[in-house]
Amino acid sequence: MGIDRYPWNVHFASAYYKKYCPEQVPEQVLKKDGTGVVAAALHNAALSSRVAFTSAQDLKLVDNGYEGLMVSIDADIPQEQCKRIIHGLKTVLREFSSELHSSTGGRASLRQVTVALPRSWRSDFSSCSLMQPLTTAAPPIRSHISISKPHPVFGNRPWAQQTQGCGKPGDKIQLGADLLSSASNDTHSYTARLLLAEWAKFRWGVFEEQGHYGDALYPPLYRDPTTHRLRPNECTDPLQTQTPFCTSKQHVPEAPTKHNALCGGRPAWDIIMQSQDFANEGNLVHNLTGHLAPSFRFVQESAPRFVLAVEDTAIMNMQRRWEFVRKAVRRVAVYDIPDGAHVALVVFNSVARTVAPLSKMDSVSDVRQRVGSSLPRNPSTVPESHKCVLCGLQEALRALDSDSVGAAGANIILITTGAGAATHHQMDEMIRLVESRRVRVTPVLYPLTERPGTASTSASQSLEPLVLASGGGTRTFTVMDEGVGNDSKVSMLVALMDALLAAVRVSGPVDAVDTPVIVESTAYPGGIASMSSGSFSLDDSLGPDVRFSVYYYDLNHVGNAIQLTTPSGQVMSSVNMQEEDGDANVIFVNIPKAERGVWRYKVENRADSHQGLHVQVAALPSKNRNVNVRVWTNNDGAELNPANPAQPTILFAKVRDGDYPVLNAHVVAKLQRLGTNTTGSGYKPTFIELFDNGVGDPDITAGDGVYSRYLPQMQLFPGHYELTVTATHNNGLAKVPAIDTLGRRARMEGDHEARKCCGSAIAYKHVKPVAPFTRQVPYGVLSVAHDASERDIFPPSRVLDLRAQLNETTRRVTLKWTAPGDDYDWGRANFYEAVMASSWSQAKAMDGEQIPGLPTPNTVPTEQVMTFEVTKYDQMIYIALRAIDSAGNRGGVSNVATLLVPQPPTTPPPPMTFPPNAHPSASTEPRGRGVTQPIRLAGLALEDIAVIGGVVGGFIVIIAIFAIVCVLHLKRRRKHSSKKEAANRVETNRNVMVKSNSAVVIDHEESHDSADSTVKDVEPIKPARPLSPVQSWAASKLLAEHERRFSVTSGPAIAQPNHAMEYSASMHDPFPDVTLTGTHSYPSSQTPSTTHSDPPAYQPSFTEGYAPYPYQYAPGYSHEDLPPYTPGLSSQSSQASTAYAHEVPQPAMGEGPYPNDIQPFHSNDMPAFVSDNYNSAQAAMYAPYPDNPNLRPMIPARTKVPPPVAPKPQGSRAPVPPVVPTTSSNGAMGSPSSMGEPKRRNVTQV
């Protein structure tokens, strides 16, 4: 095996092992022989990985070269892309090292990079062309650069997630895998330049110095403070080449950028020079030959490894503490630790020993039972003061060394009381071991004893240096002593189990999906109710199988009844499903393929009054959907000091659904002080709602899924506080970004320039509702060692979203901002002060004209609005604001909002020009939350143009409506005049037309209608074509013929007792079918209604009798006075208004009176137009009928008198068959049912 196979430098390898592995380096490593170096490297491959997995603090710049850079590849990336991704990553990082060296003036470049390949990839990496030996190491807790799927907004281009303020390191850099898969070197160079800009944010805490299109707070254009013209909101050098960060000469503090807002207008280069890399003249230029070529190491993630080091002293023999430790260790080993993990058990007192060697967990063999039952049944009698925590740590490292992977990256869970942990010498040695072996130590303080009303922080203080040496993300968990007499409460057992589970989760990968999720955890006291009931909710983010557990102090405390009700209402009898584990004090029910929804449960509670039952529901996360909540603070592991206002504690919680952030989730933290007060009662918890609103202090960017809030400093007192964060889908209001489809070219080139990170908010094009979920994540215990100040020393937080908006019509300015609070973002400030200055520096110094009329401060996070008038024209105005609390503490000065108030125009201003590199869509300045003003057109503001246009348009619309009304009125008058003139022409030619065989003959060229059809209005007869004498009768002749026939054919009337007239049926000659022509004058009371229809034509056969007239003939009633036939009469109204037609059947001759359902006509039924004008006072026209019904004569049928026959119409038409009504056997008219359609006259008014 030759040295040429591995591109390692002999001197570098020797120095490397001397520095990081001095206690493990064999002698051959120190030789100059290259073969010895390679042999040592292969022999100590596992030891080399100890530097692979580092935290952000371990990334250091040493002699102008960065060491400890960690790059991880997500498990979602397919292994088929391995070769292209590795090649692209190497090329990009080499180019990045060159760009970094050039941008910093030779003060920084890359020296060493470790790439962690996902555990899900196969171990055969021949296709990746690594050209180096692949080692196995523990998974990284947090990598610096993550290779992942495209972001829904930024795509594949790199972007840095920043959650803290100016000068603070970021969280990570995310880079899309598709960008590395490109085969183009130009694309790799472009990616390296993008990566450099994000590196400045991640490493040195600077922010974006460019505007963002569509961003209301950081627009893409702003007005130059000197020329008042629009210019791009970006940093450029004199050669117009874009740089990743601004130098002091290039920087413009007035520019509305995110960096100026958060860093107070200081140049980015000044912030970089004050970072830990270059402060105090560190890393000056020493290498003048060029940048360093980074070396790469490739490791594959191994399964997580845990060592449980348990204190075994006499203090554990009190109140059954050791029994609870054994039960809790068994629970976590048998049920909670995922398959594939390696676990070892170590006990220590004055000495240490391994009781269970490092073993791989699985669900097939009995390894879990053996490891979980390895602790001794009884504790030792060694006093607590003789314990040796250092011995336990050394024994844990020896247990880890038995594995080929080594100790690097492993987690040691230290279960101890914490009292008298170690001397200063022992603590220094433990810190050295933790840092050199790259292990993490997670203390679990059990039990922590405090007297009521007091606080003991000595235990946590003694282990705090060990936690800080373990790196970021390490926590301390505490179980308070709640013992009663010689017993401990069951709540202590459950708290210890939960602390061990939280320690396992926090030590593994952030997105681990193989540790249980606590869905429900409720304590039910005993001695109160015989049945304890509750509910829990299951959603799609959980796996199919669920475990329902009941923890007890004594088995007799649990009754026989455990009832579960499914969401569909089915009651599950769990008698045959219950399982008992006396070694863990638990009865559990496994529910396979549990139904989604809300479950209800009832448990029979027989516990004593000083004990109780504890119900827990746990399930594994779904493999198809991983909802993850990560919780951290800005000073993990450190004790809180509420007496120092310069170091407030900020709580962060990142909520993700798979690879994407969850927006508008409901995130609440519960801060519970442990122990009891002077009365023996527990302390009241404090609930903290976290926000993702991007106001800048403390939340940096809205829409990134990171929710943040200051801890309430004034409510913190010395003691221990348990912190738990609960995140839900906010009753359906939470959203998740939808994937934007990107083309291949966009994916390769990192998308277009508008998609860069990050402005005040991440604007997603498409979002969708997130499926229901609930997550409860324990953070651990926060320790407060100092008393808070007796007076208020905490100022309000800064206002960093101040926006100014000008109404150019009224010349009034509207200011908007988010209320900051009293003590940081808690409470309500006392008042605001704001100034309006003529320069940016004056505004930052709050030196200017005071703005009156400021509103009263509101609570966080409501928006506040105020309006005031400006009288300064044609000059830049700078506005700044801050809040002041009741104690006189002044908050930080806000971002400076700028605006230009133009002079009312007298002459049109010259046209405005824009830079050629300005965004094409940004030709006008953004309004809303922007700090600049819109462009004027021809000396008028857009609001003025809109008002003028609206007035002119409204006047035109009114004129148009008036003209239309006039035209319609004129047309109506002309039409009325033409109708009146035609009627006057017809008045002189009034005639009556006679129709034969129901054929209406009006004109040879007109259409002919059937006699039974509805008569329609016809056009007036033209004077040039009058009816011929043969076709018409004179009015006098027609009247005489009508009187003759009516008098002859009318039957005698018979007086009835009710004064109605009954007429006998007789045979009548038919009337000719008559059509009235011309107009006729009627009395005013008899004016025909136009709402009625014409009666139909009536043509009975000559052998029938005519039905009598149905109305009573009053004295003096004349047929000349009968109401006329009028077109439009309805059939019902015609019966009441005409004497010519009827539809009421009459009794046959010789029959009795009318049937019951058909009554004769009475006088009070007379229509209004008859009764009002023809009363009984009129002279009788007909002789009265004899009163005696026996004198009723039988009138014989008369000889038929044929009517005048009109000439046949010219032209051919189909003959209309005559209507022949059906008659009964006695010759009378048929019944109404046999008569068919009621007979109507066809009368047309021409």
Average pLDDT per block of 10 residues along the chain, 1246 residues long: 32 38 37 37 36 55 91 89 90 93 90 88 70 67 87 90 92 91 79 92 93 89 88 70 71 91 91 91 75 87 89 90 94 91 94 95 91 92 92 95 85 88 88 91 86 60 82 82 81 92 77 78 86 93 93 91 93 83 92 94 91 93 88 84 87 92 96 83 90 93 95 84 93 86 47 67 91 89 82 92 88 92 92 94 93 93 92 89 94 92 68 52 39 47 76 90 90 82 62 43 41 42 47 69 61 46 43 44 41 43 44 46 45 40 43 45 46 43 46 46 52 47 42 43 42
Give how far the C-alpha of residue 367 lies from the chain's centroid of Cα atoms, to the nearest Å: 46
The pair of three-digit structure tokens given for residue 1055, joined into one six-digit string: 């007086």
Q: CA 454, CA 388: separation in Å to the nearest integer?
A: 27
359, 365 contact by CB (below 8 A) = no
Instruction: State residue 946's pLDDT score.
Output: 79
Residues 6+ apart with CB under 8 A from 746: 155, 752
Q: What angle do CA 443, 448, 454 make, to 5 degrees?
A: 130
Are 418 and 315 a contacting pair, CB within 8 Å?
no
Q: Which residue has the tokens 């490109």?
A: 182
Q: Quick one: which of 986, 895, 926, 934 has its CA closest to 1245?
A: 986
Amino acid 128: pLDDT: 76
How far is residue 614's CA from residue 603's CA, in Å, rounded to a whole number? 10
Angstrom distance (rounded) from CA 154 to CA 763: 10
First to last CA, the chain: 124
Cβ atoms of 148 and 177 within 8 Å: the answer is: yes
Return the axis-axis angle of helices 34-43 and 10-20, rounded to nearest 10°: 40
* Max Cα-Cα span within the chain: 159
> How far is residue 296 from each of residues 85, 176, 182, 293, measured CA to CA in Å?
14, 20, 20, 10
Which regions of 979-1136 does DSSP assign to beta strands (E)?
992-995, 1032-1033, 1053-1055, 1061-1063, 1066-1067, 1073-1076, 1105-1106
Pairing of strands 578-581, 586-591: antiparallel
β-pair partners for 1200: none
Give strand pairing partners of 586: 551, 581
912 and 224 Cβ atoms separated by less than 8 Å: no
Both tokens assigned to 1204: 């005048």
Alpha-carbon gap, residue 864 to 868, rounded angstroms: 14
DSSP 8-state class, residue 1190: G
Peptide bond into 1207 cis (omega under 30): no
The token pair that represents 1226 in the structure block: 């006695």
Q: What is the spatial distance between Cα 834 and Cα 839, in angstroms, rounded to a whole number?
A: 14
In 3-state terms, what secondary structure has residue 536? Answer: strand
Let me know: does 97 contact 291? Beta carbons within 8 Å: yes
Q: Tell me what pLDDT residue 1043 has.
A: 72
At 1219, list the tokens: 């209507």
Detail the DSSP E strand segments found in 423-541.
440-448, 477-480, 517-525, 531-538
Q: Quick check: pTM over 0.75?
A: no
Q: In which order are the strands placed within the sheet that holds 666-673? A: 686-689, 666-673, 719-728, 774-784
Q: How far apart are CA 633 and CA 1075, in angstroms?
A: 104
The alpha carbon of residue 103 and the mean position of all alpha carbons in its chain are separated, in whole angstroms, by: 42
Which residue in this structure is represented by tokens 């530097």? 51
Phi and psi, residue 41, nearest 5°: -65, -45
Distance between CA atoms of residues 22 and 276, nearest Å: 26
| Separation between Cα atoms, residue 233 and residue 538, nearest integer Å | 49
pLDDT for the residue numbered 420: 74
What pLDDT sits at residue 451? Answer: 65
The three-state secondary structure class of 737 is strand
- Which residues, in sequence order, are bridge partners of residue 614? 523, 551
C-alpha 1225/C-alpha 1228 separation (Å) is 7
Q: In what order do the strands lie in the sheet with 531-538?
A: 531-538, 597-605, 558-565, 571-573
Helix ranges, 438-483 (H): 458-469
Q: What is the CA radius of gyration of the chain?
A: 51
Neighbours of 1036 (CB within 10 A): 8
Residue 717 confidence (pLDDT): 85
Q: What span, in angstroms and rounded, lies between the C-alpha atoms of 447 and 443?
A: 12
Amino acid in the structure at residue 1067: M
* Amino acid identity at 358: L
